[in-house]
Amino acid sequence: MQGMLQVYTGNGKGKTTAAIGLAIRAAGAGFKVFIGQFIKGMTYSELNA
């Protein structure tokens, strides 16, 4: 099986939501999932999850 890399960039909102949505779909289909997020020193609610 071949791996896949998705990169979400840009200004505005929706990148984390899109990435998590795709990760949930992939995990549900039996794929292994890893999410890496670069955070620039601010407090984000994703850290609580």
User: Which residue has better confidence, 5 or 48?
Assistant: 5
pLDDT score recorded for residue 46: 65
pTM: 0.66
Per-residue pLDDT tens over the stretch 1-47: 688 888 888 888 888 889 899 999 999 999 999 888 776 766 667 66
Q: How far apart are CA 31 and CA 38, in angstroms?
A: 23
Instruction: Please give the pLDDT value at position 21.
Output: 92
Nearest Cα residue to 22 out of 6, 10, 3: 6
Rounded to an integer, what distance in angstroms lies between the CA atom of residue 37 and that of residue 49?
13
What is the Cα–Cα distance from 19 to 17, expressed in whole angstroms? Answer: 6
| Rg value, the chain, Cα | 12
